[in-house]
C-alpha cells in the first residue's frame, strides 16, 4: 500500500512521522506499523473531505479539497494546518476504535446503555463527531464558521 499525496493523502508517511516525533504522542504513533499508519492517514482524509472549507477547489476535478481558491487568490499546496489535522485525526481514529460512545454517535444514535451506565448523546451537534480537539484547532481557520470536522 502506498500513500499518494494529492490523491488519498495530504501528508507523506515521513511527514506524519516527523509531525509526531517531537510531540507527547510520539510513542503512540511509533508503536504502529507503517501499513497501519497508511490506513489511518487515508481514513483521516476521508473524514476531512467534503467539509465546509472556505473557498473552492483550485481545480474542480482535483481529488482532494486542497489546494483551494479563496479571497481572490489561490493558496497553492496544502496548508500545514491541514496536514497537522490529518495526522491528529489518524492517530485519534486508532486510539478511539473501541470507543462505543463515539461509535454510537457516529451512527446517529441519541442514547446508549453500556452495562448499568446510560448516556444521552448530543443531538444538536452536526452528524460529524469531533474525535480530536487538536485536529479541530488546526482546521478552524480553514472551515466556515460552525463547521465541525472529523
pLDDT in tens, 117-140: 776 765 544 445 556 788 888 888
Express each pLDDT in 9-37 by its tens digit: 999 999 999 999 999 999 999 999 999 99
User: Furthest-apart CA pair in the chain: how many Å?
Assistant: 56
What is the rounded distance in angstroms from the CA atom of residue 141 to the CA atom of residue 25? 24
The Cα 117–Cα 93 span in angstroms is 24
Q: What is the pTM of this model?
A: 0.77
Contact between residue 15 and residue 83 where contact means Cβ atoms under 8 Å apart: yes
* E strands in the chain: 56-57, 68-70, 73-75, 111-114, 117-120
Amino acid at each position: 500500500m502506498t500513500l499518494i499525496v494529492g490523491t488519498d493523502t495530504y501528508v507523506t508517511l515521513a511527514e506524519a512521522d516527523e509531525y509526531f516525533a517531537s510531540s507527547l504522542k510520539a510513542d503512540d504513533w511509533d508503536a504502529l506499523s507503517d501499513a497501519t499508519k497508511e490506513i489511518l492517514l487515508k481514513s483521516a482524509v476521508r473524514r476531512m473531505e467534503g467539509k465546509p472549507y472556505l473557498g473552492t477547489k483550485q481545480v474542480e476535478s482535483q481529488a482532494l479539497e486542497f489546494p483551494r481558491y479563496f479571497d481572490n487568490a489561490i493558496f497553492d499546496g496544502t496548508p500545514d494546518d491541514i496536514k497537522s489535522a490529518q495526522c491528529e485525526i489518524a492517530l485519534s481514529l486508532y486510539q478511539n476504535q473501541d470507543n462505543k460512545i463515539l461509535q454510537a454517535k457516529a451512527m446517529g444514535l441519541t442514547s446508549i446503555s453500556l452495562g448499568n451506565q446510560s448516556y444521552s448523546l448530543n443531538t444538536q451537534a452536526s452528524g460529524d463527531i469531533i474525535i480530536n480537539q487538536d485536529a479541530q484547532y488546526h482546521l478552524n481557520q480553514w472551515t466556515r464558521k460552525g463547521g465541525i470536522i472529523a
